[in-house]
A = this chain, B = another copy of it.
Protein backbone atom coordinates (compact mmCIF):
# COMPACT_ATOMS: atom_id res chain seq x y z
CA UNK A 1 0.00 0.00 0.00
CA UNK A 2 1.40 3.40 -0.96
CA UNK A 3 1.18 6.50 1.14
CA UNK A 4 -2.23 7.47 -0.16
CA UNK A 5 -4.90 9.30 1.73
CA UNK A 6 -7.35 6.98 3.47
CA UNK A 7 -9.15 9.44 5.71
CA UNK A 8 -10.54 12.81 4.71
CA UNK A 9 -10.74 15.04 7.75
CA UNK A 10 -12.22 18.50 7.40
CA UNK A 11 -11.02 21.16 9.85
CA UNK A 12 -13.65 22.05 12.44
CA UNK A 13 -14.30 25.47 10.91
CA UNK A 14 -15.64 23.60 7.88
CA UNK A 15 -18.59 22.21 9.82
CA UNK A 16 -21.44 23.42 7.57
CA UNK A 17 -22.97 26.74 8.56
CA UNK A 18 -26.41 25.78 7.24
CA UNK A 19 -28.47 22.60 7.01
CA UNK A 20 -29.84 21.51 3.65
CA UNK A 21 -33.59 21.15 3.15
CA UNK A 22 -34.48 18.96 0.16
CA UNK A 23 -38.06 20.25 0.13
CA UNK A 24 -36.81 23.29 -1.78
CA UNK A 25 -35.62 21.15 -4.66
CA UNK A 26 -38.39 18.55 -4.96
CA UNK A 27 -40.66 18.72 -8.00
CA UNK A 28 -43.78 18.12 -5.89
CA UNK A 29 -44.66 19.22 -2.35
CA UNK A 30 -45.07 16.83 0.57
CA UNK A 31 -48.59 15.66 1.42
CA UNK A 32 -49.86 17.66 4.41
CA UNK A 33 -49.77 16.28 7.95
CA UNK A 34 -53.34 15.74 9.16
CA UNK A 35 -55.01 16.16 12.53
CA UNK A 36 -56.28 12.73 13.58
CA UNK A 37 -59.54 14.19 14.93
CA UNK A 38 -60.50 16.56 12.13
CA UNK A 39 -58.67 15.07 9.17
CA UNK A 40 -57.56 18.64 8.39
CA UNK A 41 -53.93 19.75 7.92
CA UNK A 42 -52.30 20.54 11.25
CA UNK A 43 -51.05 24.04 11.94
CA UNK A 44 -48.26 25.29 14.18
CA UNK A 45 -50.69 25.65 17.08
CA UNK A 46 -51.47 21.95 16.98
CA UNK A 47 -47.80 21.13 17.36
CA UNK A 48 -46.92 23.84 19.88
CA UNK A 49 -47.58 21.66 22.94
CA UNK A 50 -44.98 19.20 21.69
CA UNK A 51 -42.22 21.21 20.01
CA UNK A 52 -40.59 24.63 20.31
CA UNK A 53 -41.59 27.09 17.58
CA UNK A 54 -38.17 27.06 15.92
CA UNK A 55 -38.50 23.33 15.23
CA UNK A 56 -42.11 23.69 14.06
CA UNK A 57 -40.94 26.35 11.63
CA UNK A 58 -38.24 23.99 10.35
CA UNK A 59 -40.79 21.19 10.06
CA UNK A 60 -42.80 23.19 7.48
CA UNK A 61 -39.99 25.22 5.92
CA UNK A 62 -39.38 25.21 2.18
CA UNK A 63 -36.13 27.19 2.44
CA UNK A 64 -33.19 25.41 0.89
CA UNK A 65 -30.73 26.47 3.59
CA UNK A 66 -31.41 26.91 7.27
CA UNK A 67 -28.67 28.40 9.40
CA UNK A 68 -27.09 26.23 12.07
CA UNK A 69 -26.96 28.26 15.31
CA UNK A 70 -23.45 28.91 16.57
CA UNK A 71 -23.98 27.15 19.94
CA UNK A 72 -25.05 24.02 18.05
CA UNK A 73 -21.93 24.13 15.89
CA UNK A 74 -19.87 24.57 19.05
CA UNK A 75 -21.17 21.30 20.46
CA UNK A 76 -20.94 19.47 17.13
CA UNK A 77 -17.22 20.29 17.18
CA UNK A 78 -16.81 17.65 19.88
CA UNK A 79 -16.83 15.04 17.10
CA UNK A 80 -17.57 16.76 13.79
CA UNK A 81 -16.67 16.97 10.97
CA UNK A 82 -16.84 13.19 11.02
CA UNK A 83 -14.27 11.38 8.89
CA UNK A 84 -14.79 10.12 5.35
CA UNK A 85 -12.72 6.99 4.79
CA UNK A 86 -11.50 5.34 1.63
CA UNK A 87 -11.98 1.59 2.26
CA UNK A 88 -8.84 0.48 0.43
CA UNK A 89 -8.46 -2.70 2.48
CA UNK A 90 -12.04 -3.74 1.86
CA UNK A 91 -11.59 -3.05 -1.86
CA UNK A 92 -8.51 -5.28 -1.83
CA UNK A 93 -10.32 -8.03 0.10
CA UNK A 94 -13.11 -7.93 -2.48
CA UNK A 95 -10.66 -7.59 -5.36
CA UNK A 96 -13.01 -5.08 -6.93
CA UNK A 97 -12.34 -2.21 -9.34
CA UNK A 98 -14.91 -0.20 -7.38
CA UNK A 99 -13.81 2.64 -5.14
CA UNK A 100 -15.48 2.32 -1.75
CA UNK A 101 -15.77 5.16 0.74
CA UNK A 102 -17.57 5.31 4.06
CA UNK A 103 -18.74 8.24 6.13
CA UNK A 104 -18.34 7.25 9.77
CA UNK A 105 -20.75 8.62 12.39
CA UNK A 106 -19.58 6.29 15.16
CA UNK A 107 -17.13 8.96 16.37
CA UNK A 108 -19.93 10.79 18.22
CA UNK A 109 -20.16 10.55 22.04
CA UNK A 110 -23.01 8.04 21.87
CA UNK A 111 -21.53 6.19 18.90
CA UNK A 112 -24.09 6.97 16.20
CA UNK A 113 -25.48 9.74 14.00
CA UNK A 114 -28.28 10.53 16.48
CA UNK A 115 -26.53 13.36 18.36
CA UNK A 116 -26.54 15.47 15.17
CA UNK A 117 -30.22 16.22 15.76
CA UNK A 118 -30.29 15.70 19.53
CA UNK A 119 -27.97 18.67 20.00
CA UNK A 120 -30.06 20.93 17.75
CA UNK A 121 -33.30 19.90 19.42
CA UNK A 122 -31.91 20.42 22.92
CA UNK A 123 -30.58 23.84 21.92
CA UNK A 124 -33.87 25.17 20.50
CA UNK A 125 -35.79 23.84 23.46
CA UNK A 126 -33.40 25.39 25.95
CA UNK A 127 -33.56 28.68 24.07
CA UNK A 128 -37.37 28.76 24.17
CA UNK A 129 -37.53 28.00 27.86
CA UNK A 130 -38.42 24.32 27.84
CA UNK A 131 -37.73 22.92 31.31
CA UNK A 132 -37.72 19.19 30.54
CA UNK A 133 -37.65 16.90 27.52
CA UNK A 134 -39.49 13.62 27.12
CA UNK A 135 -38.66 11.02 24.54
CA UNK A 136 -38.80 7.33 23.79
CA UNK A 137 -36.05 4.93 22.91
CA UNK A 138 -35.85 1.37 21.69
CA UNK A 139 -32.38 -0.08 21.95
CA UNK A 140 -31.17 3.20 23.41
CA UNK A 141 -29.22 4.93 20.64
CA UNK A 142 -31.59 7.87 20.53
CA UNK A 143 -32.21 8.05 24.27
CA UNK A 144 -28.53 8.19 25.07
CA UNK A 145 -27.96 10.83 22.37
CA UNK A 146 -30.69 13.09 23.75
CA UNK A 147 -29.43 12.47 27.28
CA UNK A 148 -25.99 13.64 26.14
CA UNK A 149 -27.42 16.73 24.42
CA UNK A 150 -29.65 17.55 27.38
CA UNK A 151 -26.68 17.43 29.74
CA UNK A 152 -24.82 20.02 27.66
CA UNK A 153 -27.75 22.46 27.62
CA UNK A 154 -28.84 21.89 31.21
CA UNK A 155 -32.11 20.16 30.24
CA UNK A 156 -33.37 17.18 32.28
CA UNK A 157 -34.45 14.34 29.99
CA UNK A 158 -37.05 11.62 30.69
CA UNK A 159 -36.55 8.62 28.45
CA UNK A 160 -39.30 6.02 28.08
CA UNK A 161 -37.36 2.93 27.11
CA UNK A 162 -39.05 -0.15 25.66
CA UNK A 163 -39.22 -2.52 28.65
CA UNK A 164 -37.60 -5.50 26.98
CA UNK A 165 -34.60 -3.36 26.04
CA UNK A 166 -34.57 -1.73 29.48
CA UNK A 167 -34.17 -5.22 30.93
CA UNK A 168 -31.88 -6.69 28.29
CA UNK A 169 -29.67 -3.69 27.54
CA UNK A 170 -28.64 -2.25 30.90
CA UNK A 171 -25.56 -0.67 29.33
CA UNK A 172 -27.47 1.81 27.22
CA UNK A 173 -29.59 2.69 30.23
CA UNK A 174 -26.47 3.18 32.25
CA UNK A 175 -25.09 5.47 29.55
CA UNK A 176 -28.25 7.62 29.71
CA UNK A 177 -27.98 7.82 33.49
CA UNK A 178 -24.33 8.72 33.25
CA UNK A 179 -25.42 11.70 31.17
CA UNK A 180 -27.94 12.53 33.91
CA UNK A 181 -31.18 11.40 32.23
CA UNK A 182 -34.03 9.56 33.95
CA UNK A 183 -34.79 6.28 32.27
CA UNK A 184 -38.25 4.68 32.68
CA UNK A 185 -39.26 1.19 31.55
CA UNK A 186 -42.20 1.46 29.15
CA UNK A 187 -45.09 0.70 29.49
CA UNK A 188 -44.97 2.52 32.82
CA UNK A 189 -47.45 3.56 35.49
CA UNK A 190 -46.51 7.20 34.84
CA UNK A 191 -48.87 7.75 31.91
CA UNK A 192 -52.42 6.93 30.95
CA UNK A 193 -51.15 5.23 27.78
CA UNK A 194 -48.82 3.10 29.86
CA UNK A 195 -51.44 2.27 32.50
CA UNK A 196 -53.95 1.26 29.81
CA UNK A 197 -51.49 -1.14 28.28
CA UNK A 198 -50.55 -2.59 31.68
CA UNK A 199 -54.20 -3.01 32.65
CA UNK A 200 -54.71 -5.12 29.55
CA UNK A 201 -51.40 -6.91 29.77
CA UNK A 202 -49.39 -6.54 32.98
CA UNK A 203 -46.53 -8.48 31.39
CA UNK A 204 -46.21 -6.26 28.31
CA UNK A 205 -42.58 -5.95 27.27
CA UNK A 206 -43.38 -2.73 25.44
CA UNK A 207 -42.79 -1.47 21.92
CA UNK A 208 -41.47 1.68 20.31
CA UNK A 209 -45.04 2.67 19.43
CA UNK A 210 -46.10 2.42 23.09
CA UNK A 211 -43.04 4.34 24.29
CA UNK A 212 -43.78 7.13 21.81
CA UNK A 213 -47.32 7.33 23.15
CA UNK A 214 -46.03 7.72 26.70
CA UNK A 215 -43.45 10.37 25.83
CA UNK A 216 -45.92 12.35 23.73
CA UNK A 217 -48.55 12.19 26.47
CA UNK A 218 -46.14 13.51 29.08
CA UNK A 219 -45.24 16.47 26.88
CA UNK A 220 -48.86 17.15 25.93
CA UNK A 221 -49.94 17.25 29.58
CA UNK A 222 -47.04 19.26 31.03
CA UNK A 223 -46.63 22.82 29.75
CA UNK A 224 -42.95 22.96 30.67
CA UNK A 225 -42.13 19.65 28.99
CA UNK A 226 -41.60 19.21 25.27
CA UNK A 227 -41.22 16.08 23.23
CA UNK A 228 -38.24 15.12 21.07
CA UNK A 229 -38.20 12.54 18.29
CA UNK A 230 -35.04 10.97 16.95
CA UNK A 231 -36.06 10.30 13.34
CA UNK A 232 -38.96 10.47 10.86
CA UNK A 233 -39.79 14.20 11.11
CA UNK A 234 -38.65 16.76 8.56
CA UNK A 235 -36.62 18.79 11.06
CA UNK A 236 -34.76 15.68 12.18
CA UNK A 237 -33.82 14.84 8.59
CA UNK A 238 -32.80 18.46 8.14
CA UNK A 239 -30.37 18.29 11.08
CA UNK A 240 -28.87 15.09 9.72
CA UNK A 241 -28.11 16.72 6.35
CA UNK A 242 -24.82 17.76 7.91
CA UNK A 243 -23.58 14.23 7.16
CA UNK A 244 -24.03 14.52 3.40
CA UNK A 245 -22.92 18.16 3.27
CA UNK A 246 -19.61 17.27 4.88
CA UNK A 247 -19.25 14.22 2.63
CA UNK A 248 -19.61 16.41 -0.48
CA UNK A 249 -16.77 18.64 0.74
CA UNK A 250 -14.69 15.58 1.56
CA UNK A 251 -15.23 14.11 -1.91
CA UNK A 252 -14.01 17.45 -3.24
CA UNK A 253 -10.81 16.93 -1.24
CA UNK A 254 -10.56 13.41 -2.64
CA UNK A 255 -11.15 14.59 -6.20
CA UNK A 256 -13.93 12.05 -6.52
CA UNK A 257 -17.74 11.84 -6.42
CA UNK A 258 -20.03 8.90 -5.62
CA UNK A 259 -22.02 7.11 -8.29
CA UNK A 260 -23.89 5.23 -5.58
CA UNK A 261 -24.85 6.31 -2.05
CA UNK A 262 -26.01 3.54 0.31
CA UNK A 263 -27.61 3.97 3.71
CA UNK A 264 -29.68 1.86 6.07
CA UNK A 265 -33.21 3.08 6.66
CA UNK A 266 -35.24 2.64 9.85
CA UNK A 267 -37.05 5.90 10.47
CA UNK A 268 -35.12 7.40 7.57
CA UNK A 269 -33.00 10.14 9.12
CA UNK A 270 -29.64 8.47 8.64
CA UNK A 271 -30.31 7.69 4.99
CA UNK A 272 -31.72 11.15 4.30
CA UNK A 273 -28.92 12.91 6.15
CA UNK A 274 -26.34 11.19 4.01
CA UNK A 275 -28.13 11.09 0.67
CA UNK A 276 -30.33 14.20 0.39
CA UNK A 277 -27.49 16.69 -0.13
CA UNK A 278 -26.29 14.53 -3.04
CA UNK A 279 -29.83 14.18 -4.38
CA UNK A 280 -30.26 17.95 -4.10
CA UNK A 281 -27.28 18.51 -6.40
CA UNK A 282 -28.78 16.08 -8.88
CA UNK A 283 -32.18 17.81 -8.69
CA UNK A 284 -30.51 21.14 -9.37
CA UNK A 285 -28.92 19.76 -12.53
CA UNK A 286 -25.71 18.46 -10.99
CA UNK A 287 -24.08 15.04 -10.95
CA UNK A 288 -26.26 11.98 -11.22
CA UNK A 289 -26.28 9.65 -8.23
CA UNK A 290 -28.02 6.38 -7.38
CA UNK A 291 -29.34 6.27 -3.82
CA UNK A 292 -29.99 2.91 -2.16
CA UNK A 293 -32.06 2.59 1.02
CA UNK A 294 -31.49 -0.72 2.77
CA UNK A 295 -33.93 -2.18 5.27
CA UNK A 296 -34.25 -5.57 6.96
CA UNK A 297 -36.45 -8.24 5.39
CA UNK A 298 -38.05 -8.54 8.84
CA UNK A 299 -39.38 -4.98 8.60
CA UNK A 300 -39.69 -4.17 4.89
CA UNK A 301 -41.37 -0.78 5.12
CA UNK A 302 -40.16 0.65 1.82
CA UNK A 303 -40.22 -2.57 -0.20
CA UNK A 304 -43.49 -4.09 1.07
CA UNK A 305 -45.32 -1.30 2.89
CA UNK A 306 -48.17 0.84 1.62
CA UNK A 307 -47.77 4.56 0.85
CA UNK A 308 -50.65 5.86 2.95
CA UNK A 309 -51.63 8.02 5.90
CA UNK A 310 -50.86 6.39 9.23
CA UNK A 311 -50.11 7.11 12.85
CA UNK A 312 -46.57 7.22 14.16
CA UNK A 313 -47.41 5.45 17.41
CA UNK A 314 -49.45 2.59 18.80
CA UNK A 315 -51.92 4.59 20.89
CA UNK A 316 -52.61 6.77 17.84
CA UNK A 317 -51.81 10.02 19.62
CA UNK A 318 -49.64 11.46 16.84
CA UNK A 319 -50.85 13.36 13.79
CA UNK A 320 -51.43 11.37 10.60
CA UNK A 321 -48.58 11.47 8.13
CA UNK A 322 -48.41 10.08 4.63
CA UNK A 323 -45.60 7.58 4.53
CA UNK A 324 -44.62 4.09 3.58
CA UNK A 325 -45.96 2.02 6.42
CA UNK A 326 -46.54 -1.56 7.50
CA UNK A 327 -49.40 -0.35 9.69
CA UNK A 328 -48.97 0.93 13.25
CA UNK A 329 -50.03 -2.47 14.64
CA UNK A 330 -47.27 -4.38 12.79
CA UNK A 331 -44.67 -5.79 15.17
CA UNK A 332 -41.52 -6.95 13.37
CA UNK A 333 -39.46 -9.94 14.52
CA UNK A 334 -36.83 -9.25 17.15
CA UNK A 335 -33.87 -8.73 14.86
CA UNK A 336 -30.75 -7.19 16.36
CA UNK A 337 -30.91 -4.05 14.23
CA UNK A 338 -33.36 -2.47 16.69
CA UNK A 339 -33.11 0.91 14.98
CA UNK A 340 -34.62 -0.56 11.81
CA UNK A 341 -37.73 -2.03 13.48
CA UNK A 342 -40.11 0.91 12.93
CA UNK A 343 -43.42 0.33 11.13
CA UNK A 344 -43.27 3.62 9.23
CA UNK A 345 -40.75 5.73 7.34
CA UNK A 346 -39.97 9.43 7.25
CA UNK A 347 -42.55 11.17 5.02
CA UNK A 348 -39.73 12.87 3.11
CA UNK A 349 -37.94 9.60 2.40
CA UNK A 350 -41.27 8.05 1.42
CA UNK A 351 -42.03 10.94 -0.91
CA UNK A 352 -38.58 10.78 -2.49
CA UNK A 353 -39.01 7.05 -3.07
CA UNK A 354 -42.43 7.67 -4.57
CA UNK A 355 -40.86 10.23 -6.91
CA UNK A 356 -38.44 7.58 -8.12
CA UNK A 357 -35.39 9.33 -6.68
CA UNK A 358 -34.19 6.37 -4.63
CA UNK A 359 -34.25 2.59 -4.70
CA UNK A 360 -35.12 0.43 -1.73
CA UNK A 361 -33.80 -3.03 -0.97
CA UNK A 362 -34.43 -5.47 1.87
CA UNK A 363 -31.69 -7.71 3.29
CA UNK A 364 -31.83 -10.65 5.72
CA UNK A 365 -29.83 -10.24 8.91
CA UNK A 366 -27.40 -13.15 8.50
CA UNK A 367 -26.05 -11.71 5.25
CA UNK A 368 -25.76 -8.34 6.93
CA UNK A 369 -23.76 -9.71 9.87
CA UNK A 370 -21.48 -11.61 7.48
CA UNK A 371 -20.84 -8.32 5.68
CA UNK A 372 -20.27 -6.57 9.01
CA UNK A 373 -17.64 -9.14 10.03
CA UNK A 374 -15.92 -8.86 6.65
CA UNK A 375 -15.89 -5.09 7.02
CA UNK A 376 -14.50 -5.27 10.58
CA UNK A 377 -11.66 -7.56 9.54
CA UNK A 378 -10.72 -5.35 6.62
CA UNK A 379 -11.28 -1.86 8.00
CA UNK A 380 -10.98 -2.38 11.76
CA UNK A 381 -14.33 -0.83 12.65
CA UNK A 382 -17.15 -3.06 13.89
CA UNK A 383 -20.39 -1.69 12.40
CA UNK A 384 -23.61 -1.38 14.38
CA UNK A 385 -26.18 -4.02 13.32
CA UNK A 386 -28.15 -1.29 11.55
CA UNK A 387 -25.09 -0.12 9.64
CA UNK A 388 -24.29 -3.66 8.45
CA UNK A 389 -27.28 -3.33 6.12
CA UNK A 390 -25.58 -0.50 4.25
CA UNK A 391 -22.27 -2.38 4.29
CA UNK A 392 -23.92 -5.49 2.82
CA UNK A 393 -25.44 -3.53 -0.05
CA UNK A 394 -22.24 -1.57 -0.64
CA UNK A 395 -20.27 -4.80 -0.89
CA UNK A 396 -22.84 -6.23 -3.30
CA UNK A 397 -22.51 -3.16 -5.52
CA UNK A 398 -18.72 -3.46 -5.42
CA UNK A 399 -18.92 -7.12 -6.43
CA UNK A 400 -21.26 -6.17 -9.25
CA UNK A 401 -18.57 -3.77 -10.47
CA UNK A 402 -16.11 -6.67 -10.46
CA UNK A 403 -18.51 -8.88 -12.40
CA UNK A 404 -19.12 -6.15 -14.96
CA UNK A 405 -15.48 -5.08 -15.06
CA UNK A 406 -16.33 -1.45 -14.35
CA UNK A 407 -15.27 0.92 -11.60
CA UNK A 408 -17.90 2.88 -9.72
CA UNK A 409 -17.50 5.06 -6.66
CA UNK A 410 -19.61 3.81 -3.78
CA UNK A 411 -20.35 5.75 -0.60
CA UNK A 412 -21.51 3.72 2.40
CA UNK A 413 -23.16 5.44 5.35
CA UNK A 414 -21.61 3.88 8.44
CA UNK A 415 -24.11 5.27 10.91
CA UNK A 416 -22.58 3.86 14.07
CA UNK A 417 -20.21 1.43 15.75
CA UNK A 418 -21.28 -1.87 17.23
CA UNK A 419 -19.58 -1.60 20.62
CA UNK A 420 -22.93 -1.64 22.42
CA UNK A 421 -24.20 -4.47 20.24
CA UNK A 422 -21.58 -7.16 20.69
CA UNK A 423 -24.26 -9.54 21.98
CA UNK A 424 -25.59 -9.52 18.42
CA UNK A 425 -22.18 -10.59 17.10
CA UNK A 426 -21.92 -13.21 19.86
CA UNK A 427 -25.27 -14.63 18.79
CA UNK A 428 -24.19 -14.50 15.16
CA UNK A 429 -20.98 -16.46 15.82
CA UNK A 430 -22.73 -19.01 18.00
CA UNK A 431 -25.29 -19.72 15.28
CA UNK A 432 -28.18 -18.35 17.32
CA UNK A 433 -29.30 -15.79 14.77
CA UNK A 434 -31.98 -16.51 12.22
CA UNK A 435 -33.12 -14.80 9.09
CA UNK A 436 -36.60 -13.40 9.42
CA UNK A 437 -38.85 -12.70 6.51
CA UNK A 438 -41.76 -10.48 7.45
CA UNK A 439 -44.91 -12.26 8.60
CA UNK A 440 -47.13 -11.89 5.52
CA UNK A 441 -50.40 -12.58 7.30
CA UNK A 442 -49.61 -10.07 10.07
CA UNK A 443 -48.68 -7.52 7.46
CA UNK A 444 -51.96 -8.00 5.55
CA UNK A 445 -53.92 -7.59 8.78
CA UNK A 446 -51.93 -4.57 9.85
CA UNK A 447 -52.32 -2.85 6.48
CA UNK A 448 -56.07 -3.56 6.58
CA UNK A 449 -56.25 -1.62 9.83
CA UNK A 450 -54.74 1.56 8.34
CA UNK A 451 -56.91 4.57 9.20
CA UNK A 452 -59.33 5.73 6.55
CA UNK A 453 -58.33 9.24 5.55
CA UNK A 454 -60.73 11.19 3.36
CA UNK A 455 -58.02 13.50 2.03
CA UNK A 456 -56.23 10.65 0.24
Q: Count of chain A residues with Cβ under 8 Å from any Cβ of B?
A: 50
Q: How far is the CA of A174 from the CA of B378 in the complex (A)?
A: 17
Interface residues of A in 1-58 (CB under 8 A from B): 1, 3, 5-7, 9, 11-12
Name the residue of chain B whose CB is nearest to the CB of A180.
Answer: B377
A288-296, A310-318, A422-430 - interface stretch: A422-430
Query: When chains A and B are docked, how far (Å) is the Cα of A70 from the Cα of B1?
Result: 9
- Complex CA–CA separation, A135 to B380 (angstroms): 19
Contacts of A378 in B (CB 8 A): 151
Which positions 49-71 of chain A face chain B at CB distance < 8 Å?
70-71
CB neighbours of A151 from chain B (8 A): 376-378, 380
Chain B: which residue is nearest A111 at the CB level? B419
Q: A78-B380, A422-B174 are in contact. Are A12 and B1 (CB under 8 A)?
A: no
Interface of A is mostly: helix
Given contacts A377-B180, A380-B152, is CB(A422)–CB(B175) below 8 Å?
A: yes
> Does A338 sit at the interface, judged by CB under 8 A?
no
| CB pair A3 B74 closer than 8 Å | yes
Separation of A419 and B419 alpha carbons in the complex (Å):
7
B12 pairs with A89, CB closer than 8 A: no
Bound complex: CA A1 to CA B152 (Å): 12
Q: Which residues of B contact A85 (CB under 8 A)?
A: 78
Query: In the complex, what residues of B have CB within 8 A of residue A376's CB?
Result: 151, 178-179
For A6, the chain B residues whose CB sits under 8 A away are 12, 74, 77-78
> Chain B residues with Cβ under 8 A from A175's Cβ?
382, 419, 422, 425
Is A107 in the interface zone, CB < 8 Å from B? Answer: yes
Residues of B within 8 A of A124 (CB): none
Query: Hey, what's the 0/1 contact readout for A413-435 against B, CB within 8 Å counting as 1?
Result: 00000111011011001000000
When the two chains form their complex, are residues A174 and B425 in contact, meaning their CB atoms are under 8 A apart?
yes
**Cα distance A172–B426 in the bound complex, in angstroms:** 10
Cross-chain pairs A/B with CB under 8 angstroms, 25 sampled: A1-B71, A1-B74, A3-B74, A6-B12, A6-B74, A9-B11, A9-B12, A78-B85, A78-B379, A78-B380, A78-B381, A107-B107, A111-B419, A148-B380, A151-B376, A151-B377, A151-B378, A171-B422, A174-B425, A174-B429, A178-B372, A178-B373, A178-B377, A179-B377, A180-B377
Query: Which A residues lie at the B interface, using CB under 8 A?
Result: 1, 3, 5-7, 9, 11-12, 70-71, 73-75, 77-78, 85, 89, 107, 109, 111, 148, 151-152, 170-175, 177-180, 372-373, 376-382, 418-420, 422-423, 425-426, 429
